Structure formats: structure tokens, C-alpha cells
Amino acid sequence: MLYSRFPVISGSICSVLLGFAGAAHGAPPESITVGSLTLEYCNSDYDGYCGSIKRALDPTGGVRGSINIGFEYYPRFDQRSPALGTIVPQEGGPGYSSTGTRDAYLNIFGSLRERRDILIVDKRGTGTSDPIDCPGIQTGDPSDPAALKACGDQLGRKAPLYGTRLAVDDIVAVLDALQIGVVDFYGDSYGTYVGQVFAAWHPTRLRSIILDSAYPARPPDVWFPTDWATGRDGLDLVCERSPSCRALRGRSTNRIERLLRELRTHSISGVAPDADGLPLEVTLDVSTLFLLMTNLGNSPITYRDLDAAARAWFDRRDSLPLLRLAAEYNTPFVSSPEDFSYGQYQAVICAEYPLHYDLNASPAQRRRQYDRAIEDARRTRPDLFAPFTIDEALAANANFTPLATCLDWPKPPPAYPQGDPLPAHPKFPDVPTLVLSGDLDSVTSPEDATQAAAQFPNVVHLIVPNFTHVTAYYYSDVGYLPDGGDTTHCVQRIVRRFIEALSTGSTNCLDGIRPIRTVPDFAKSVRDLDPVNAMAGNKAGRDELKLATGAIETVGDTFARFLVTYGIGSGLRGGEFTYLQKPYGYEFDLDRVKWAQDLAVSGKLRWYTKTGDVFADVRLRQGGRNIGHLTFFWNDVEKNATTFIEGTIEGKRVRAKRIAP
């Protein structure tokens, strides 16, 4: 069947137009008809409609039963003019619900909704599409061999029926039911894998493709070695781009290797605040350090803190900055299968990702194949995870590539053989394709993305400086914004322009994206800090200017933990902070937050996300008494942002500046 460039305006689509025209001055209709489906109003924030279709669980008929495929449809605002197209975004994982990321997607593409519809479909086994719930790995340890085997046993013959090609066929079936022809596809992370499968099997249904943080569906190396190298070498890159770290002698990776050598002889244990701001007994050992480094692409805060935290240990035997990173990483993450399905994740990676063994073999044979693959890596690729050994990497049980997690997974039937879901000789469509990569992304490295991009004949690959994983709804070392905001005012502009004009236009704004600003030094006492730089009119002395440094580091540390915590957290050495979303951005409330032991900071910080302006108004307390009041201002989007400081400490006027935290 041939499809027109834009959706056909059929009689059923016309009913949508009339319904919305009649509702232009009132409430949206409770239901609308799109194609052959009646959709129910379900989202008043964005005027969205929900629907579902029933699909065969197994199109070959080998396993009986059906599955509901849920979706959300957001009609364009201008219902009197012909549509300019439909945007279909897809979330990653595997395991994440695409509808769970609606806020981000609708903010990314919101300005295009005047003439474009948005359709968000949950892949089978996720979100509103009958999510897989394997209790042992959903609420327990997702790497526990017994729980993984129990999940495979639970799914049984259904285990291979949650793969990417079936999910893509479901999406196309939704498009058919809604009578939507071609679409603009956006996928992030595993969503880029979905995009490749979509493009290979349904090339005529695509007007454009955007792959954000991509990796190839058919990777050349089962170990994905460039991911590890990107994170490790990214520590040096972040240090080189941050003035306070660049001024140090030596390389960041050398300092981390020194820490690794110490941890090989003795671990570091203690109590530190976790991601919820709660005290947690935690140990930093070789495995935890490896896990922190494999997670750099998901955790820019580790890029920000790790070097300085290691130096605090070397210089003062101050373990708390390191232990806090470990505690934040180890904060229990329990989600509902509707938000993230560990079972769907496991089903996809066992069916499609490259393994070190053959799932057609018996579990005992698989283990022998796996052991041989590991021994071969020890012998021929000992530096695969340098400075860690192969055995140290394996002992960490990191999820950098599916290793032992599928050893007891059900054997696939002939209709669904193990392996990637692409055709034997895929031919990708000659439609405008944009690939985006963060140059610090150790989850899907720029090299991974280059391999994915090479498959497409009409492609532009942009590498975004100073970004980690997922670039279109991201904010430097802060992480993902819940509403999908792009406070750099750059990447989203490029994405929207690409959909509108099928061209990126100017990408000069990428050069202005600010670096991750590392911590100059973690200090137990403000006495050990360098003073801020005095400006004309300053009457404060060196001691007072050191206190100002401590105050700005406290404020900066709190600001950097936005989204590491979830609305409430604690200072490194005490106190509490909270933050709330406001119409202008976010407001932080600090209550005697201690970054240094001998300084407590209270007050408010306001972050204006549309402009990047940050204002803080804080009171300083030391030795049981109030000692001063300071205000800070900086623009956090500026590449070389400077903090301006004014106020009084011990009755002396402070006018100073320093690099923004």
C-alpha cells in the first residue's frame, strides 16, 4: 500500500475538525473519532486523548492470546487547516513507558502543535500496553539469577513476544487504525533502536527520523568498548574544560587510578546522605567505583564531583564526598511496571542484544560458552575496562552489556530466533535523518552513534559538547528536567527546525553550551578554601572572603543536586533543602545546609530556566551565631559564567566574584 506524504483527510478525520471547531470557545469534546477509533479525553494539561487497539500477542499463532496497545493522541491546535504531519516520539530503556515521558515530548514539540499532531504509543509490555510485571526483579534485585530465571519461567513461551519488530508493527497498526500515513519519528536511547527497526521494515511511513543518543541495532563489538572509554576519558575532558580542575597538575584519570589502587587494598565505609537525603550505611569498594564510572553517562553529577571527592580523600582522608556519590548511586530504585518494566527490559535484551552464548543451547552449554568468551577477553583484551581488570568489571555486576543475565532465559522458538530484529540485508530510507550525541555520553557513545548514522543515506550527525545521555531534554550537569525543558536554548531549537524544514539550519549555538563545572575542592573547614576575588568597594578581609567561598560552594552543591534528589535532600554535612517548580523555573529553600562543617547556610535560590539566571539570598551562621548575609547572581547558561557576590560578613561589606559553581 502506498501512503501519501501527509494524513488523508477522511470523513472520520473531518469529525475531529468539526468537534474541535465547536469546542474552540469551550471545553474540549469528551471523545473524538480519528480514523476508525474513538478516543477518550484523558489529559487536561495538554488536551490529550487516550485509546488502544487489540493485537495478536503472537502473529504467527504459535501462542494464543492478545495484547492491548495503548497510546495517547494530542491533536494539533489549528483544526481548520490541513495537518502538516504527525510526530511519533519513542522512549528508551528497554522497559520505559513512552507515555510516561509525555511532558518532555510535549514540551520539546509543543511549538509545533499548531499544525502537527503528536502520537505517543507504548511499546508492548510497557506503560499502558499490558506491562510485564516480574515481581522478583521489579521490586527486588534485577540482577539476581534466581529472580531472572523466575521471570523467564513466568513468561515461558511468551518471552520472545515483546521484541522490537513486533513493537514497531504495533505502532504501525495504530497508525493504520488512526489513518495516519507518514510520520516524523523521534527516538531517544533504546528509542533509536526502535527507530532503526521502524526504518528498516516500514521505510515508506517516515517523513523524517531523529535518533537522540543512538547505538547500532547490529553492533560490531558485543562489549560496546567505546562506551566505557567515553566515560573514562570523559573525566579528563571534563577536567580540561573546567578552569578549577585544569589548573591542577596531573590528569583526572590518574587520580582515579590512584583511588582504585587504594580500594584494592581496603574499602572505605561510613554513613552518607543518599539521593533521598537520608543517611545510608555505604561502602566504596572496587565494584562501587566501577559502577560509578559505568554510570557517568547517566549521572553528570559524578563527572562534577568525582575528581574533587578523590582529592578530598587523598589530602585530608575526608571520605564523605566519595561516600555520598556511592550512597546516591545505591539509593533503592523501585518503580511500578507501568513506569519501567524490568521484565520487558529483560525480554528484549535476551531476544535481541548480542550475547556471549547461544540461547538455543542448554543452560549448562551456555555457561561453558560464556566462560570461554570471558577467558578469551582476559587473554586477548585485558585492557577492555582499564584501569580495571576484566574480573573487576565482571565482579561489579554492571549492566554495561548483557552478560550473565540471560543464562537461564527460555529457549527461543524457530519463529523468533535470537538476534537483532533487522532484515538480513536492511536498506534504510533516503529520508532526512538527524543523529544527536552527547560527547560525554558513556551509555551510547558518539562512536556508537556514528555506526548507527552510517546506515542512513541522508544523515546529519551532531555531537553536542558537554552533554551526556539524551540531548533534546537535558540540562548540563543538572540532568533531565521533568517538563522536558532545554535551558540551553539550543538542541530543541535544532530538533524542531529539523522537523519543520528537514534541515538543521545553523548549529552555531552548540559551541556556546557550557561545560560541566567541577568542584574546585571539598573542604571540611572554610579555612581550607581559597577566598573569592574581591571587587571595587569590598571591605571584607581574607577570612570573610573564604566564608563567601564556603557559602557559594554550599549553594552550588545544592543546585547541582537538583533531580539527584526528588524535591528534598540534605547537605553534605548536615541541614536540609527542598525545591519546588514555579512558573519561572525552580525555587530552592535551604535550611542550615552544611557543605563545610563550620558554616551553615539558609535562604532561597531561584532558578529562572528560560533565561538561565540564578539568584540566591542566603544567611550565614557559624559557631552558633549569625555572621552575615549574602546575595549571589550568575547566568548558568553562559559558557564562562561568573558569580557576583554582595552582602556583609561580620559587619564588613563584601563585593566579590568567582567562577560560577
pLDDT in tens, 347-386: 999 999 999 999 999 999 999 999 999 999 999 999 999 9
Strands (E), 176-309: 183-188, 206-212, 268-273, 279-284
Per-residue DSSP letters for 626-642?
Answer: EEEEEEEEEETTSTT-E
Strands (E), 467-610: 533-534, 568-570, 576-582, 585-593, 600-608
Residue 614 is predicted with a pLDDT of 96
Residue 562 is predicted with a pLDDT of 84
Residue 488 is predicted with a pLDDT of 79
Residue 270 is predicted with a pLDDT of 98
Q: Do 235 and 253 touch, CB atoms closer than 8 A?
A: yes
Mean pLDDT, each 10-residue run in order, the chain (661 residues): 27 38 66 97 96 98 97 96 96 95 90 96 98 95 93 98 98 98 97 98 98 96 94 97 91 97 98 94 97 92 97 97 96 86 96 95 97 95 96 86 88 96 97 97 96 98 95 58 66 96 96 94 96 97 98 97 86 96 91 98 94 96 96 94 97 97 94
How many angstroms separate the CA atoms of 273 and 291, rounded? Answer: 18
In this structure, CATH architecture of domain 11-124+163-218+420-512: 3-Layer(aba) Sandwich (3.40)
Is the four-CA dihedral 148, 154, 159, 163 of positive or negative sign? negative
Residue 94 is predicted with a pLDDT of 96
Residue 23 is predicted with a pLDDT of 45
C-alpha cell at 626: 549569625
How many angstroms separate the CA atoms of 120 and 127, rounded? Answer: 11
**What residue type is 73 in one-letter code?**
Y
Q: Whats the size of the chain, residue-wise?
A: 661
Domain boundary assignment for the chain: 11-124+163-218+420-512, 523-661
Residue 249 is predicted with a pLDDT of 84
How many angstroms separate the CA atoms of 226 and 446, rounded? Answer: 8
Residue 401 is predicted with a pLDDT of 64
How many angstroms separate the CA atoms of 9 and 44, rounded? Answer: 26
How many angstroms separate the CA atoms of 315 and 57, rounded? Answer: 60
Q: Do 309 and 325 touch, CB atoms closer than 8 A?
A: yes
pTM, rounded to two decimals: 0.93
